A and B are shown apart, each in its own frame.
Chain A
Amino acid sequence: MLIARGLEKTYRSGERTLTVLRDVDLEIDEGDFVAILGPSGSGKTTLLGLLAGLDTPSRGSVAIDGTDLAPLTEDERARFRRDNVGFVFQSFQLLPSLTALENVQVPLELRGDRNVSARAAALLERVGLSGRLDHYPTQLSGGEQQRVALARAFVHEPRILFADEPTGNLDAATGEGIIALMEELNRERGTTLVLVTHDPLLAGRARRTIRLADGKIVADSAAA
């Protein structure tokens, strides 16, 4: 499903170069649920960005479903994402000027799909927000916003979904609900899940956990 080979990411600031990620090799199977764990600053977000094609590695390559992301342009990668990739962010990242329903419609509209509102509404109902279709993000609680974001991430039926600390801004109980929802959707649709967290409890619910420290993979439950 996803194959990363020899990933390395360095940042140059002035004279110094900072290697944030080095020598990461990774394979993720179709329909798997993977949690990436590690202390703050260990490079989790950087890795996620590379795997999702949001950023380009300094060295190495990423291929999703047989498509090598490296030779693609920014826009080609964007088109690839709209068909295959879903996202959930720590800070929800709903578009503030769109209603819940409109937010969920965006990925479909970007593809030029027709009759998008019915599908979006159905998914919002699935995450338990059938009564809040016309509410703006500011009128929703954090948990509700993250559920809208989940609906948006799943609405175009991506083959793989990335989430960067999706519960980081939520209380434990609400976060628990979100993870449960993700698990359900992962099971229902067979979507591959890649979840970044530093909460070992949440990570424990994943089928596979990868531990990062100092930009290197230090443990992988699949390998163990």
Chain B
Amino acid sequence: MTTRQLLSLAFRESRFARRRLFLFLSAISLGVAALVAVQGFASTMKREMSAQARAMLGADVQLQSRDPFGPRTTEVLESLARGGIDVARVTSFASMARHAENGATRLVQVRAAEPGFPFYGTIETSPAGQWASLQDDRNAVVEPALVVALGAEIGDVIEIGKARFRIIGELHRMPGDIEIASSFAPRVFIPARYVDETELLGYGARVTYEAFLRVPDPELAETIDEGYRPIWRAERVRSRTLQEQQEQIDEALGMLGRYLGLVGVFALLLGGIGVASAMSAYMSRKVDSIAVLRCLGATSREVLALYLLQAGAMGLLGALVGVLAGAVVQWVLPQMLTGLLPVDVPIRVDGPAALTGLVAGMATALAFALLPLLEIRTVSPLRALRRRVEPLIARGHDKLRLGMAIALVVGVVALIVYQAHDVFAGLGVSLGIGITLLALWLAARACTKLLRRAPHAGFPFMFRQSIANLYRPGNQTMTVVVALGFGAFLLATLVLTQANLLRPLTANSETRFNLVLLDVQVDQIEPVRDVLAMHDIEILDSVPLVSMRIAAVKGEPVRRFLEDELVLDGDGSLPEPTQDLEPDEGRPRRWALRREYRSTFRETLTESERLVAGRWWNERNATDGEAPFAVSLEQDIARDLGVTLGDRIDWDIQGVTVPTVVTSIRAVDWARLEPNFFAVFEPDALRDAPQMWVLLARAETAEARTAAQRDVVAQHPNVSVIDLTLVQAALDEVIGRVSLVIRFLAAFSVATGFVVLLGSVATGRLERIRESVLLKTLGATRRQIGAILLGEYALLGLLAVLVGAGLSLAASWALARFLFDVPFEAALGPMLAIAAVIVALSAAIGLSASREVFRTTPMEALREE
């Protein structure tokens, strides 16, 4: 047979059956679409962010500190500036902004910038070009959210602390911006030279000091950074170069890419299962044709080639459709994530992703089609003579198929390892998938067995018939239950895990308090209480905050630890805090020593705390107001500091040393919005230390919250008020968007499950028609036949959901327990919703795909025989 003849026969032979091949095509399309979409999205993001790294950083070198730059750092900056390097400083802090006329207030992030900032990237404002005028006067460029919140207009004056600024423009786009962040605290840019007029930078203010350097020559930038790093480190200044920024982006997005890549491989794998199912459905219709071709002298190789060509063509077409669909999805994804992405993701088909999708799609289509295709090698030509009697496919060991199956598994594992960029992670994921599939299969088997054994004598005929249909010869019950169950499993696991992770965040909408007042000075507590009382708002809780650093651990001065590191590192550079992973031999982690602690003092434990070791002081009252004082540490920080019960820590509070002994270790539920602390002191230790207070209050109405905010800030401009309902709304928004994307991706897996279901419907089509026709001749009504089919497919869906959702409970429990370390709770509502939708859809698909059964009259069936 010539190739051309083979091609044309393959084409002709597929006539009328292309509708069936469409199933095959859609399975591949779904997989490829998911693969292309997530990979394209990840790599476009990565490319965009790399391209904009300089604009996002706004400089070539950035310095950052929680304290004003020390004398040596300042000296370095000045000498650099003299040497012709542009330097711009930005001072940032949270504060209330108050509309000078209507008195409306809103918590904002003030960014006091020196001229020149940012050195790279353009800031878009409306009216356009206002950024250039920022430095001209007491001007402010603000985010639109603030304008809305204050009911302000361009040209209005706002007060920040004791200073007043005129809004000259709204900030529309800034490189590297995550838009939604502005709903937490909108930013207000003011000229740096007026920042002191606010009088907000006094004690206790949480201020970030930054300096931006323009050093266009990257080598010079690295040299500067490396040369001065020891000085910066010694003065607690962190530095970052463009190159480091880029590396960080690459690493973060590389992770994202690998993770999303795995999601894509998953989808493609499911698509492959769909292909195998669709192909065996297709082949079951083609067995007679194959037998005839064999009678006429076609070799098994020719027959195989014939159908492989058809599968290949459909695979190619499916992959092409998938690439296009993937491009559409890739366009939809950023829409869903509006405001959460730091860059605009342009709409375009990502070349490499598209090519990967095309090749992987084709390969998957052929590989998975080959499994059922290899079966036709054993189709006996005798079937042409005796259609009913000959068994469909000769059973028994087929070395080739076994080899093929093994090759397939190896291929899939290789693909996963390749995507994970890590042999162990890849093997782990593969093992996980394998175990899941095995568990699904076992559970499905157990369920079907149970169903078969269960007494159904008492049930109506139609229901018994439905169950019996699940056992008809050549049934696809197991395939469907496993495939659809896998989809249900993925979706349910995602939803359950998401609910477990987000529960602490959403639960807060019912917290006791919804107003947080920050930076309240001791003598302001009573006046603030009075203002709140005027609005019928009661203070529920007041918490003192004392800023401190660690002076010595177990008698060893902190400076010594840090200097040791300098010597150890040799090149004089300190590793980033992220790099020191484990405290070795009880040595404290550097960041834990270097950081600033905001601690509190009180008599009792709070609801979100639990003692894990030692005793609380009200039970013991050991120190009697004398040093060393008792301190209680959170368990993780105790580990990072390398201390246990009885160890000594000396704290430095504004130059005063406060010696303490660790008398208890606490576990803290950080997910609660209540203020929580690494270190809690007995009251005697800190009562007289410089302190700021946090007040927690609850106001029932939005009006009361707004009014109280306005009045408090009018009298005490240094006090910041956080309206937690706004924070919660912003959080909900973020959560909603992310959940949507996760569900959207998971929906692909369910869709593929349905392709498998459709495939099984197609496979059983002929038997079903014959049987229904027989029932009709015996007097069954359309309604009764419909009820049987409905029952059968609803049962299939139910089995799949039972198996998939059941396993997902176990999986999400394990995830919550071992990976995320959050309490597990089964979100029954969403689970039931998923179950209902899957069962309903599978019943609907079963019915609609079987409508041929209704259409066929007994006459037609008789003629066919």
Contact with B299, one of A78, A83, A95, A98 (Cβ below 8 angstroms): A78
Question: Which residues of chain B are within 8 angstroms of A82 by Cβ–Cβ distance?
Answer: 296-298
Chain B positions 191 through 213: 1 when the CB is less than 8 Å from some CB of chain A, otherwise 0: 00000000000000000000000
CA–CA, A98 and B291, complex, Å: 15
Judge whether B419 is part of the interface by a CB distance below 8 angstroms: no
Within the assembled complex, what's the spacing in Å between the Cα atoms of A139 and B5?
A: 25
- The contact string, 1 if C-beta is below 8 Å from chain B, for chain A 62-101, is 0000000000001100111111010101010111111000
Q: Is A164 among interface residues, defined by CB-CB distance under 8 A?
A: yes
CB-CB contacts below 8 Å: B1-20 with A? 1-2, 5, 9, 12-17
Does A78 lie within 8 Å of B297, measured CB to CB? yes
User: Is A45 engaged at the interface, CB distance under 8 Å to the other chain?
Assistant: yes
State which residues 464-489 of B face A: CB under 8 Å: none
Chain B CB within 10 A, most for which of A74, A79, A80, A164 = A74
Partner of B15, one of A91, A97, A106, A109: A97
Do A95 and B382 touch (CB < 8 A)?
Answer: no
In the complex, residue of chain A having the shortest beta-carbon distance to the beta carbon of B299: A75
A131 within 8 A of B: no
Known: A48-B385, A93-B384, A97-B16. A112 touches B5 (CB 8 A): yes
B339-390 interface with A by 8 A CB criterion: 380-382, 384-387
- Bound CA–CA A85/B295 (angstroms): 9
Given A95-B289, A102-B12, A110-B1, A81:B382 Cβ within 8 A: no
Docked Cα-Cα span, A91 to B865, in Å, equals 8
Judged by a CB distance under 8 angstroms, whether B505 is at the interface is: no
Contact of B288 among A83, A93, A102, A164 (CB under 8 A): A93
* Count of interface residues, chain B, beta-carbon cutoff 8 Å: 31
Q: Report Cα–Cα, A93/B300, bound state, in Å.
A: 19
Q: Which of B13, B300, B301 contacts A97 (CB 8 A)?
A: B13
- Residue of A49, A54, A74, A106 near B293 (CB, 8 A) is A106
A74 and B300 contact, CB distance less than 8 A: yes
B300 / chain A contacts, CB cutoff of 8 Å: 74-75, 78
Contact of B16 among A55, A81, A96 (CB under 8 A): A96
B65 CB, min distance to chain A CBs, angstroms:
76
A109 in contact with B381 given A79-B299, A95-B292 (CB within 8 Å) = no
Q: With A89-B385, A97-B17 known to touch, is A112 a contact of B295 (CB < 8 Å)?
A: no
**B12 & A110 in contact (Cβ 8 Å cutoff):** no
Given A45-B385, A93-B384, also A79-B5 (CB < 8 A) = no
A152 within 8 A of B: yes
Whole-angstrom CA separation of A96 from B380 in the bound complex: 19
Inter-chain contacts of B9 with A (CB < 8 A): 106, 109
Chain A residues within 8 Å of B14, by CB:
97
Asked whether A110 lies within 8 Å of B297 as measured between CB atoms, the reply is yes
Which chain B residues border A205 with CB–CB below 8 Å? none
Q: Does B698 contact A (CB under 8 A)?
A: no
Measured between alpha carbons, how far is A55 from B379 in the docked complex, in Å?
12
B674 touches A (CB below 8 Å):
no
CB of A38 within 8 A of chain B? no
Closest A residue to B303 by beta carbon equals A78
A97-124 CB mask vs B (1 if < 8 Å, else 0) is 1100010001101111000000000000
Q: Which residues of B contact A78 (CB under 8 A)?
A: 294, 297-300, 381
The answer to the question of B302 belonging to the interface, with a C-beta cut-off of 8 Å to chain A, is yes
Q: A97-B13, A97-B15 are in contact. Are A91 and B387 (CB under 8 A)?
A: yes
**Complexed CA–CA distance, A75 and B17 (Å):** 27
Beta-carbon contacts under 8 Å, B256-309 to A = 288-289, 291-302
Kindly name the residue among B295, B298, B299, B384 whose own CB sees the greatest number of chain A CB atoms within 10 A.
B295
Are A110 and B298 in contact, CB atoms less than 8 angstroms apart?
Answer: yes
In the complex, what residues of A have CB within 8 A of residue B294's CB? 78
Indicate the member of B9, B296, B299 with the most A CB atoms within 10 Å. B296
Contacting residues, chain B, for A98 (C-beta < 8 A): 12-13, 15
Are B12 and A79 in touch, CB under 8 angstroms?
A: no
Query: How far apart are the CA atoms of A62 and B302 in the complex, in Å?
Result: 25
* Contact assessment for B296 and A152 in the assembled complex, using a CB-CB cutoff below 8 Å: yes
Cβ-defined contact, B297 with A83, below 8 A: yes
Which chain A positions have C-beta within 8 A of B299? 75, 78-79
Least CB distance, A136 to chain B, in whole angstroms: 8
Q: How far is the CA of A78 from the CA of B382 in the complex (A)?
A: 12
* Bound: A52/B385 CA distance, A: 11
In the complex, chain B residues whose CB is within 8 Å of the CB of A81:
295-297
Cα–Cα distance between A80 and B296 once the two chains are bound (Å): 10
Q: Which residues 46-66 in A have Cβ within 8 Å of B in the complex?
A: 48-49, 52, 54-55
Question: A52 to B17, alpha carbons, bound, how many Å?
Answer: 30
Contact (Cβ within 8 A) A107 B297:
yes
The answer to whether A87 touches B295, judged by C-beta atoms less than 8 angstroms apart, is: yes
A55 engages B298 (CB within 8 Å):
no
From A54, A93, A102, A110, give the contact of B302 (CB < 8 A): A110
Residues of A within 8 A of B292 (CB): 89, 93-95
Contact partners of B16 in chain A: CB under 8 A: 96-97
Q: Which residues of B contact A91 (CB under 8 A)?
A: 387
Q: How many angstroms between the C-alpha atoms of A164 and B386 in the bound complex?
A: 10
B307-334 CB contacts (< 8 Å) to partner A: none
Considering the complex, give the chain A residue whose CB is closest to the CB of B377: A74
Contact partners of B302 in chain A: CB under 8 A = 110
Complex contacts, A102 vs chain B, CB 8 Å: 12
B residues within 8 A CB of A80? 297
Give the chain A neighbours of B380 by CB distance below 8 A: 54-55
Q: Assess A89 versus B296: contact at CB under 8 Å? Given A96-B16, A109-B9, A110-B1.
A: no
Q: Which residues of B contact A85 (CB under 8 A)?
A: 297
Residues of A within 8 A of B384 (CB): 54, 87, 89, 93
Distance A48 CA – B15 CA, assembled complex (angstroms): 32
Contact of A109 among B5, B17, B295 (CB under 8 A): B5
Chain B's closest residue to A75 (CB) is B299
Binary interface profile of B, 509-543, with partner A (CB < 8 Å = 1, else 0)?
Answer: 00000000000000000000000000000000000
Least CB distance from B765 to A in Å reads 14
Residues of A within 8 A of B296 (CB): 81-82, 87, 106-107, 110, 152
**Is the beta-carbon distance between B385 and A54 smaller than 8 angstroms?**
yes
Q: Which residues of A contact B2 (CB under 8 A)?
A: 112
- Measured in the bound complex, the distance between the Cα atoms of B437 and A145 in whole Å is 48
Residues on the B chain within 8 Å of A48, using CB: 385
> Which residue of chain A has its CB nearest to the CB of B292?
A93
Distance of A78 Cα from B289 Cα, bound (Å):
15
Cα A111 to Cα B12 with chains together (Å): 18
Cα A87 to Cα B297 with chains together (Å): 10
The answer to whether residues A79 and B297 also contact, given A49-B382, A55-B380 and a CB cut-off of 8 A, is yes
Which of chain B's residues has its CB closest to A48's CB? B385
Return the contact of B12 from the options A45, A97, A107 (Cβ within 8 A): A97
Given A83-B297, A85-B297, A45–B15 Cβ distance below 8 Å? Answer: no
Q: How far is the CA of A79 from the CA of B384 in the complex (A)?
A: 17
Residue of B17, B297, B380, B381 with most chain A CB atoms under a 10 A cut-off: B297
Residues of B within 8 A of A96 (CB): 16, 289
Which listed residue, A49, A93, A112, touches B1 by the CB 8 Å rule?
A112
Bound complex: CA A32 to CA B793 (Å)? 56
> Which residues of chain B are near A93, meaning CB under 8 Å?
288, 291-292, 295, 384
Tell me, in angstroms, the Cα distance from A31 to B12 when the chains sit together: 35
Complex formed: what's the CA distance from A125 to B335 in Å? 64
Closest to A102 in B: B12
Bound-state CA distance A52–B300 (Å) is 17
What are 14 A-B pairs at a CB distance below 8 A?
A45-B386, A54-B385, A79-B297, A81-B296, A93-B288, A97-B12, A97-B14, A97-B289, A98-B12, A98-B15, A107-B296, A110-B298, A111-B1, A112-B1
Further 20 A-B residue pairs, CB within 8 A, beyond A55-B382, A107-B297: A49-B386, A54-B385, A75-B299, A78-B300, A79-B299, A81-B296, A81-B297, A82-B296, A82-B297, A87-B295, A87-B296, A87-B384, A89-B384, A91-B387, A97-B15, A97-B17, A102-B12, A106-B9, A107-B296, A112-B2
A-B CB proximity, top 6 nearest: A82-B297, A97-B15, A81-B297, A75-B299, A109-B5, A54-B381
